[in-house]
Structure 1
Amino acid sequence: MNNIDKRNRLDEEVFSYRVSKNNSLFINFKGKEIKIVKGKEAERLLSKIHAAETDKEIQLVLAKITGNFKHGNEKNSKKKA
């Protein structure tokens, strides 16, 4: 786990989720909804979340399902030389 989150971003618990009545999973990043997962994919994701032993592992599962949140160059994308 230490090699995956070198900058300790997942310690901040930036991801959150909620489950609807029909088992759709709504994933938020810093309070903003960024992804909705439904059906069998939501069931697999929920089983991974319930199997996680720590909050940091839950954050990692949510980060992986949402896409590219690990590059670290997001702030520099608009910077010009």
Structure 2
Amino acid sequence: MSGAPEGFTYRLRKNGDVEVLHHGRPAAVLRGAAAARFLIDVGSGDPQELMARITGNYKHGNERTAKKHPRNRRR
């Protein structure tokens, strides 16, 4: 398990909004200046990490601790 974000895509709507999807389900909608900044930034860096940050699904810091929890040991 690499820990890198994956499964994010985005769609540009006709009205200029950007819809961020995670595994095909809507996760966030960016409008106006935020959408414009996103479209500029998505071409310059890692788009998966950028979309993970936008949706709030990014490096919580408890991944290693949760992996060792008894409930998750069988996974």
Q: TM-score higher than 0.5 here?
A: yes
Counterpart CA distance in 2 for 1:23 and 1:51 is 20
Q: TM-score, normalised by structure 2?
A: 0.70
Instruction: Return the offset for 1:22.
Output: 1.7
Counterpart CA distance in 1 for 2:26 and 2:57 is 16
Letter in 2 for 1:60: E
Specify the structure having the higher radius of gyration (Cα).
Answer: 2
Identity of matched residues, %: 30
RMSD over aligned CA atoms reads 2.1
- Gaps of at least 5 residues in structure 1 are 1-5
User: Is 1:48 equivalent to 2:41 in the alignment?
Assistant: yes
Q: Which runs of 4+ in 1 moved over 2 A?
A: 6-10, 68-73
Q: TM-score, normalised by structure 1?
A: 0.66
- Gaps of at least 5 residues in structure 2 are none
Matches within 5 A, 1:21-36: 21-36=14-29
Counterpart CA distance in 2 for 1:21 and 1:41 is 16
Matches within 5 A, 1:1-81: 7-10=2-5, 13-52=6-45, 57-71=46-60, 72=63, 73=66
Q: Does the CA-based 8 Å contact 2:11-2:19 persist in structure 1?
A: yes
Counterpart CA distance in 2 for 1:66 and 1:45 is 12
